[in-house]
Amino acid sequence: MKKLNLFIFVFSLSCLIFSSKTMALEIDSAYIVSHYSEIADKIIDYAEKDSSSWTRLSYLCDVFGSRLSGSISLNNAIDWMFEEMKKDGFSNVRKEEVMVPHWVQHNSSTELVFPYKKKIDVLALGGSVPTPNGGISAPVLVVESFEDLQNHKEDAKGKIVVYNFPFDSYGRTFQYRWSGADQASKYGAVGSLIRSLTQDISVIPHTGVMRYMDSVPKIPGGAISPQDAALLGRLQKHGITPILKIKFDTEILPDTISYNVMGEITGSEFPNEIIALGGHTDSWDVGLGAHDNGGGCIATWNAAKTIKELGLKPRRTVRVVQWVNEENGTRGGQAYAEKHKNEKHALVFEFDSGVFEPSVIGFTGDDKMLAILKGMEPLLKKINPDMIVRKGGGGVDIGPMMKLGIPGMSLGTNDEGKYFLYHHSAADTPEKVDPKNLNQCIAAIAIAIYIYADLPDYISTK
């Protein structure tokens, strides 16, 4: 009898193991709908009724202000996040040191001197060298492209080169901000200004990072509004050579200490397998960084908070990571990858596309997993009927981890052409963020993250 009971026990255990393996092998997109539809409904309902997320975003922006790497305001904001994550009940809340660049813009000004006097709003680009103490007064050469500059290189010596290019996309026009000063310096220019990377025809300049090569002299680089760049271009076409005076009081200080801040929901079955998600805490030194990227930080943070407060217990550990220094150095993402490269990450997730109606969950990883994740679409369409899951996800902060072979995921939004009205400018403030859109983004992230973190163990195939 004992032998019979032992046989029955062993046989039952074998069937259980076989059944578990069979489930793992047969899991498909339909599994997601059948297992997570009710949970998705709870997440959406919770997020839609939550008013604390937008309040938390406005507090981050309004109380701490702009948060450029190296600034006291950024580290104060990180300290606040650290304390709030502890109050939220996340486990293993901590700050990890990151050495970040420390560039400061004390004051920048530009004035049209000829053919008449006019103040022109300007921002020094991130990393720009200062002008001499008295500033630089020089005639202007307006060009529309690097090819145009090449064609007029003999005219560039001693000039302030102004790039007045059409803004058709960020990807195509970023090059003028990144290397415009170097290209102008090659031909003897004394300064460089770009038309801001925005479709907004106003007097608001938009800033961003630039770089210098050691092969040419470093000249100051700045950004003016599309309206003012267009004015200078028209004057040149009228046969008038404008004269500008630029004065940039900037300073490059030694690298300083900042932090990645993080907290966790410990996995119920595979606690050593990690889903890391977040945004970046730093912003530029103008505006309040609401879309870029305070909203990304709050959305990912509160998505994990939603999972926690609903009492959901995913199989894997969900780790909220707010990376530092995305804007002018990417040190936070690099430091995270170096420190945590030997941990078992199942996924890294980043949200840095502006807080608008969620439209896409992008995934970079195994095609079989992508096919399974397509099963999230019916659940996500409850938030936005047009929402899809597609190939291609990533971000600057998670890039170093993705290079190690970790799958990447990101949330894309439908900004209806609005994002670059605010991007890297004084206009990036909390009232530009619709609380409904923020809650929709939180719900979409929470659904995607919870499902991925809770899938059966075959997700971790090497």
Collapsed DSSP state (helix, strand, coil) of residue 192:
strand
Distances, alpha carbon 60 to alpha carbons 290, 296, 375, in Å: 9, 12, 35
Helix ranges (DSSP H) in 65-211 = 72-88, 146-151, 170-185
Judge whether 246 and 192 are in contact, CB under 8 Å. no
Look at the alpha carbons of 451, 452, 453, 454 in this order and tell me if their dihedral is positive or negative.
Answer: positive
DSSP letter at 291 equals: I
Q: What CA–CA distance (Å, rounded) separates 22 from 368?
A: 16
Catalytic entry in 84, 264, 273, 326 = 326
Q: How many Cβ atoms from other residues are within 10 Å of residue 391's Cβ?
A: 11
Closest C-alpha among 56, 57, 49, 47 to residue 444: 47
What b-and-e string marks burial along 14-53, b requiring 16 or more CB atoms within 10 Å of the CB? Answer: eeeeeeeeeeeeebebebbeeebeebbeebbebbeebeeb
Burial of 218 (0-12, 13-18, 19+ CB in 10 A): middle
At residue 3, φ and ψ (nearest 5 deg) are -65, -40
**The two three-digit tokens of residue 169, written as one number:** 């996309």
118-120 vs 122-124, strand pairing mode: unpaired
Strands in 135-201 per DSSP E: 136-143, 160-163, 191-195
38 part of the active site: no
What b-and-e string marks burial along 178-190, b requiring 16 or more CB atoms within 10 Å of the CB? Answer: bbbbbbbbbbbbb
DSSP-assigned beta bridge partners for residue 410:
350, 362
Q: What CA–CA distance (Å, rounded) separates 17 from 400?
A: 37
Residues with a known catalytic role: 326
